Amino acid sequence: MDAFEAERAENTQAISELENQIETLEAELTAEETTQRAAQEAAQRAARQVEPTPAGTTNDQRSVNTMAHTNRMIPRMSLRDRVCNLSTREDVREFAVRLRGLIGQKRAVTNGAVTIPEIMLPLIREEVNEASKLLKHINLQAVRGTARQTIMGTIPEAVWTEMCAKLNELDLTFNDAEIDGYKVGAFAAICNALREDNDVELMTQILYALAHAEAQAVDKAIIYGTGTKMPKGIVPRLLETEAPSGARATDRPWVDLHTTNVTSITAANSTGIKLFQSIMKAYGAARKSYGEGGKFWAMSEKTHMTLMSEALNFNAAGAVVSGMNDAMPVLGGTVEELDFIPDNIIIAGHGVNYLMAERAGRNVALSEEARFIEDQTVIKSTARYDGLPVIPEAFVAIGINGATPSTSGITFAADTANEGD
């Protein structure tokens, strides 16, 4: 009996020591996560600070300053390293040599004169996904041709019954959304002085510029896309007052959301805790029962600063702090700053309910004419996407300070090359 008690005491002591070790490791992990989060937030704040251009700066100096500032703003090492890893390939080296030779030529060159190696195309796609503020929140699918996405409605409740009784059949409703494909094009004006950079720097600058231009167009289409020659955006769908024509039998039934999911918060309710209470009530219209996934809150930087200022408070040490940074208080969800969204407008929802289809067939080539006067050469990139909010009830558009969500004043880059087609 004494041996048993001694063994039990040893086991109890061992368990206690293990629990203490676990608590210590958890505390260390929490401290490390806090440190990393603080470093990331500091880097993001530093990235938003734009240095003023000194008086008397020439155009060439501005180009150099802009490029240097871009290098500091963007965590470019990952892209640069990926380019560097490919730079030893024969086809990539050949591309860099031809590109360097063509940049700055004072004559027109054909698209066939320089073709980017296929091995480099995924780099642009990856950089687009990283540069975009919204692609990481939505349902992005790679498809070929015209595709259809199956959509399931609200999952019904299971039925309680006797242990040996027959089961009840669930009434599951399935619809589909048809996705087409539209081309988005971006071009980058490359300063001819970049010929003097090494191959890795030259190609990194080009891939970065093309990817970020494309990402901006994709993000704007997700929020405000008209659905004509581009994806259908969240706001235009929420503002619809009647069902669009040409609906198919298998389409999900159209629902009028322009009064339930579009809200304008008065100026009187746009201060302090009243503001966040009103936002919470407005967000209550966003249905979550159609699929899990994190929330996102898209708004301009000024709107973000307004919310942060309204959440200011004093901590225990008497310092002024904000109850929000890059996440919405209480409700949760990432805040994404997009400068094309008007001030005092917030677009939010469960991003998994927006379907974006990305097609194969990305193309990158040198444009047909150089920019002679600016001493620049243009390189272009094209990709194909289509998308729509397949469950529009999962999104809301909110205006604060009396603003009303609308599509008025929202413009896309003009398709001047195809006017009249």
Q: What does the angle CA 65 – CA 67 – CA 73 come to, to the nearest 5 degrees?
A: 100
Q: Flag whether pLDDT at 66 surpasses 80.
A: no
Residue 135 structural domain: 74-153+178-413
Q: Are 398 and 263 in contact (CB under 8 A)?
A: yes
Q: Flag whether pLDDT at 337 surpasses 90.
A: yes
Reading the block at residue 338, the tokens are: 């997009």
* Residue 243: inside a domain: yes
Tally of domains in the chain: 1
* Residue 128: inside a domain: yes
* Residue 341: inside a domain: yes
* Residue 66: inside a domain: no
Q: How far apart are alpha carbons 236 and 234 in whole angstroms? A: 6
- DSSP H or E stretch at residue 416: none
Q: What is the per-residue burial (b if ≥16 Cβ within 10 Å, else e) of 327-340?
A: ebeeeebbbbbbee
pLDDT in tens, 184-229: 766 666 666 655 566 777 778 778 878 888 889 899 999 999 988 8
* Residue 117: inside a domain: yes
* Residue 345: inside a domain: yes
pLDDT in tens, 341-397: 999 999 999 998 898 888 766 666 655 455 544 556 666 677 888 888 988 999 999
Q: Are 185 and 210 in contact (CB under 8 A)?
A: no
* Domain harbouring 200, CATH code: 3.90.1690
* Residue 227: inside a domain: yes
The β-bridge relationship of strands 354-359 and 376-389 is antiparallel
* Residue 323: inside a domain: yes
Per-residue pLDDT, 64: 36
Helix (H, G, I), strand (E, B) or coil at 56: coil
Q: Which residues in 7-64 belong to E strands, given as ranges?
A: none
> 260: burial class by Cβ within 10 Å (0-12, 13-18, 19+)?
middle
Reading the block at residue 303, the tokens are: 């709107």
Q: What do you get for the CA distance between the two ends of the chain, in Å? A: 95
